[in-house]
Amino acid sequence: MIPPMDKVVQALRARRRAEGLTQRAVAHGVGCSQPYLSQVERGRRPLSEKMALRLEEFLECPGLFTTAPFLKGRPPMTDTSKVIRRSLIQGAVAPTDPPPDLGRRPRHSQVHQKWGVEDRLSGLTTVFREETGDMLERLEKEKGPDQRYWRNFNSLRFDSWCERWFLLALALLGAQLTGVRLSAMGCALAVVNGKSGKEFKGCHRGFLMQHQGVSIAWVPQVAVRTRAMYRCPDNVLLISKGDKTVTAVVEVVGGEYHTLDELVERAYELGVPFYALDAGWVGDPRVFPMILDWAVSLVA
């Protein structure tokens, strides 16, 4: 078994070379010396979390050096999640031709597109009801000091309070947070790197669950390319039953979030089933049963 730090060394060297960069150029970009970076790449010196975050930003690879697969080890997939993953892959169909490259990089102004790790659940109780505090206590009690879990959870990026609540509620539904390879599961969207706009073939962090015998992968904030522009849906769902997998999107509308007209435009561009949720409903216990029942209806 390859030690975690050896994996970091291999990933760093491979990423730097793939970008065609010298050690000197990378060192200058992240504010360290070339000899230090050389020692890191040879496994002579450990990589601090602070420097790992700088490297992820400079090399445009969020989570590559700081998340569980490298520093803490990925939690083992549960038996239920293994069944869900097999179901999704079995129902995967050949992807349609992606839209043409737009010839420019995506614009980045949203919170979730800024690198770094923070407490993603802080402030929820000031935005939603007091019950949210009870939800937080339940999750913390269930997960305890599992640093692998919290590192993966806190590395999820999003740009609204609604999405924080979604992630908390999903975790409490018993959904497992793990790596989800959308390209292998027949995702109908053209998934791209959120900063470069290039095709993305790696894993996203997502939740695997079952509802009424249907397998569902729920993945927040996936950057995609349409024929007109780059989009970042709030939530992408892969829903599978038997030999059929459907891609769908769940977005939040109202308040400080998208207007209905904007969501209609998004739905048209994405070309997949689209669920628009009023922001005023977020926090209502009926929300998830409604969304999950809708997801099941897509593969009925």
**CATH code of the domain occupying 4-66:** 1.10.260.40
What is the Cα–Cα distance from 109 to 238, expressed in whole angstroms?
27
Most confident of 28-32, 128-132, 149-153, 294-298: 294-298
**Amino acid residing at 123:** G
The residue written with tokens 């390209």 in the block is 183
| For the chain, percent of residues with pLDDT exceeding 90 | 22
Length of the chain, in residues = 300
SS3 247: strand
Please state the separation of Cα 38 from the chain's center in Å: 31
| Range 206-226 average pLDDT | 93
Q: Which of 73-77, 156-160, 201-205, 269-273 has the lowest mean pLDDT?
A: 73-77
Please state the separation of Cα 47 from the chain's center in Å: 24
Please state the separation of Cα 58 from the chain's center in Å: 19
Q: What would you report as the CA-atom Rg of the chain, rounded to the nearest whole angstrom?
A: 20
Check the CA dihedral 184-187-188-193 and report its sign: negative
- Backbone φ, ψ for residue 154 (5° rounding): -75, -15
- DSSP state, residue 284: -
pLDDT tens-digit readout, 5-37: 667 778 888 888 988 999 999 988 888 888 888
What is the Cα–Cα distance from 167 to 135, expressed in whole angstroms?
11
0.75 surpassed by pTM: no
In the chain, which residues fall in CATH 1.10.260.40? 4-66
